[in-house]
Amino acid sequence: MKKPSLFILAAVLSTAAWAQQENLGDTGGLASLRGVTPLQDTRPADDLKKFPREQALESDYVYQPPLIPHNIRNYEVSLNANKCLSCHSWKNAKEMGATKISVTHYVNREDAVLADMSPRRYFCLQCHVPQANAKPLVKNDFQRVDSLRQQ
């Protein structure tokens, strides 16, 4: 089994060496929709997006994690703290005037309902994102599912 893997390693290394020669750290002629910046240059950061409070963030399909209708800058979600739960947990939601996390957030992957938030729902931003009022980069004809479409 040793020979084939050595062979693959050699092939990968020679391809990498070739790629380096042909493509001297540049984008290889690829133009991005966000503009062209060769890899060796540093582009100025984009302006921070605004998350307008008044925008309606309705769902487009059933079982979509609702979009976050507020700013989340500096909200820590880590081993030590979960800022989101300080408003959205069942304990705090009422007092903070926030929607409480739904029952699905208490179910673990064995389908057992836990007494506290399921670890697989802890990192809220895996599923929920704030939506900026940004111009789409690509045209999109996506239609909301019938049951959520307003006449």
CA distance 70 to 55: 10
User: Rounded to 5 degrees, what are φ and ψ at 46?
Assistant: -65, 160
Stretch that binds ligand HEC, among 10-18, 31-39, 126-134, 141-149 (CB under 6 A): 126-134
**Strands (DSSP E) found in the chain:** none
Nearer to ligand HEC, 28 or 66 (CB): 66
Verify binding: residue 107, ligand HEC, rule CB under 6 A: no
For ligand HEC, which residue of 71, 87, 90, 106 counts as binding (CB under 6 A)? 87
Nearer to ligand HEC, 20 or 133 (CB): 133
Nearer to ligand HEC, 27 or 87 (CB): 87
For ligand HEC, which residue of 27, 71, 72, 90 counts as binding (CB under 6 A)? 72
Nearer to ligand HEC, 27 or 121 (CB): 121
Verify binding: residue 126, ligand HEC, rule CB under 6 A: yes
For ligand HEC, which residue of 35, 44, 97, 136 counts as binding (CB under 6 A)? 97
Verify binding: residue 37, ligand HEC, rule CB under 6 A: no
CA distance 39 to 34: 14
DSSP result, 102-143: PGGGGB-TTSPBPSS--GGGS-GGGT--B------SS-----
- What Cα–Cα distance (Å) separates residue 130 from each residue in 51, 91, 120, 140, 142? 7, 23, 20, 19, 19
Q: Say how many residues make up the chain.
A: 151
Residues in the site for ligand HEC, rule: CB under 6 A?
A: 63, 65-66, 68-70, 72, 75, 77, 82-88, 96-99, 101-102, 104-105, 121-128
